[in-house]
A and B are shown apart, each in its own frame.
Chain A
């Protein structure tokens, strides 16, 4: 997992909770690098699982909710850091469609060994898109938060429903994105 996800995570923890909470979860997690993450590095995703689990313990908030919050936060950071991907995009559905077909393509150019989740799209009606997410990691909630962040960014004009899919390993879910009546 790219280091930027970790650095953004700690920014969120420090801003939303405190520096003390951030320090505590680092200590409890007994990390190999003692929490010294750099945005350009690559780290084991299990460290993120451990950190979020300990954040849940510290704050009393459910881990799924924390991951959704983090997903929404990361989307705002993504918009600030990579405005080029938003040029000419007018709707949340258009942007979500770009994730697999444009953004992941660009990510692979920079990081050929990146292990990215995949998205498949199906347009069942002019104002309804189904998006199937598959990942080798247990981050469906995090993906859900990103989708929510995307919809919010484009004016909150869509409802999001999620159906978790059973697969042999990793995680998968179908997101149903429908225009609000």
Chain B
């Protein structure tokens, strides 16, 4: 067989191989397209699930706090009720006294028997003790008004926590967020710790999503309380500090609990990672904090911990937010 014939046959094989490769490529392209479609569907499902999980976590936070909040509301309501009952009884007595006064005055006007009526009036006045009644009524009213204000603050904080005015990033005052979140979760921390707030006066505003930052502060304070509760610490203390920095504002939530276990330190910001017992934590709290601060606010979150001494979570929020998710979308 000549070289030319050999080359022709080789060429024919190469051509057939190319056709086979093209068919294979087409089949693989179709598989790839279908796999890509499947992947897109999975991604959409995953995003939906993530949204649901965040919402579920928020609901879990609210649910956990509900008992504490009920107690918080119940205490002022109880003394408001007592005070109002006192006022009601007292003013009934007062009304009786005034009725007597009116009857006496009427009879005094008729002159005869006035002395006896006046003595009876004096006795009635001593019995009713109107001076005491008036003094106490003022205090009771003031205390009731304080209680009502406290209830209003709790309800307002709950309302704003659950339904923040906007999800857009607007100038926010971190101190107000701290005060609101710590009010909401008072029932969580007050059993385990004293809360000290060292908030810088006139702290500059930073752009942020109020609702998301509410959640972050609440998660950190509740976590701090749990850390103290799980430790041997008898005098728990949570210190929340805010201060301005050259590039933004810093928030620190420090506790004197047992510290983050060494084995868990690498994973504290991982989703679904928790050292809490089953049913006590979803493992979403710090993952959400990380997502909100780093991805949505372009800030940083880190922690310092020492076994047996405590943990501090430190957040830095910049004056100018560049959202990572926005950058990725661009």
Contact = CB atoms under 8 A, between A and B. Distances in A.
Interface size class of A (residues with CB under 8 A): 10 to 19
Contact of B20 (A20, A23, A36): A36
A36 B10 contact: no
Contacts, number: 38
Given A19-B7, A23-B1, A36 B24 contact: no
Interface string B1-37: 1010011011011111111110011000000000000
Interface string A25-41: 01000000111111111
Chief secondary structure at chain A's binding surface:
loop
Contact of A38 (B1, B7, B10, B21): B21
A38 B7 CA distance: 18
B17 A37 contact: yes
B17 A38 contact: yes
B21 A40 contact: yes
B6 A36 contact: no
A35 B14 CA distance: 9
B12 to A, nearest CB: 8
Interface size class of B (residues with CB under 8 A): 10 to 19
Contacts of A38: 17-18, 20-21, 24
B16 A36 contact: yes
A37 B10 CA distance: 11
Contacts of A33: 16, 20
Nearest to B18: A38
B6 A20 contact: yes
Contacts of B20: 33, 36, 38, 41
Nearest to A19: B6
A23 B21 contact: no
Nearest to B7: A19
Chief secondary structure at chain B's binding surface:
helix
Contacts of B3: 19
A40 to B, nearest CB: 6
B13 A36 contact: yes
Given A19-B7, A23-B6, A35 B13 contact: yes
A100 to B, nearest CB: 26
Task: Determine which residue in A23, A35, A38, A40 has the highest number of CB atoms from chain B within 10 A of its CB, and name it.
Answer: A38
Contacts of A34: 13, 16
A38 B21 CA distance: 6
Contacts of B15: 36
A54 B6 CA distance: 18
A36 B7 contact: no
Contacts of B14: 36
Contact of B17 (A22, A26, A36): A36
B15 to A, nearest CB: 8
B252 to A, nearest CB: 42
A14 to B, nearest CB: 9
B6 A41 contact: no
A23 B10 contact: yes
A26 B17 CA distance: 14
A41 B21 contact: yes
Task: Determine which residue in B3, B6, B19 has the highest number of CB atoms from chain A within 10 A of its CB, and name it.
Answer: B6
Given A38-B24, A40-B24, A41-B24, A23 B9 contact: yes
Task: Determine which residue in B16, B17, B21, B25 has the highest number of CB atoms from chain A within 10 A of its CB, and name it.
Answer: B17
Contacts of B6: 19-20, 23
A22 B3 CA distance: 12
Interface of B: 1, 3, 6-7, 9-10, 12-21, 24-25
* A-B complex: 9 closest residue pairs judged by Cβ atoms: A36-B16, A38-B21, A36-B17, A38-B17, A36-B13, A38-B20, A35-B13, A19-B6, A23-B6
29 contacts: A19-B3, A19-B6, A19-B7, A19-B10, A20-B1, A20-B6, A22-B10, A23-B1, A23-B9, A23-B10, A26-B13, A33-B16, A34-B16, A35-B13, A36-B12, A36-B13, A36-B15, A36-B16, A36-B17, A36-B19, A36-B20, A38-B18, A38-B21, A38-B24, A39-B21, A40-B21, A40-B25, A41-B21, A41-B24
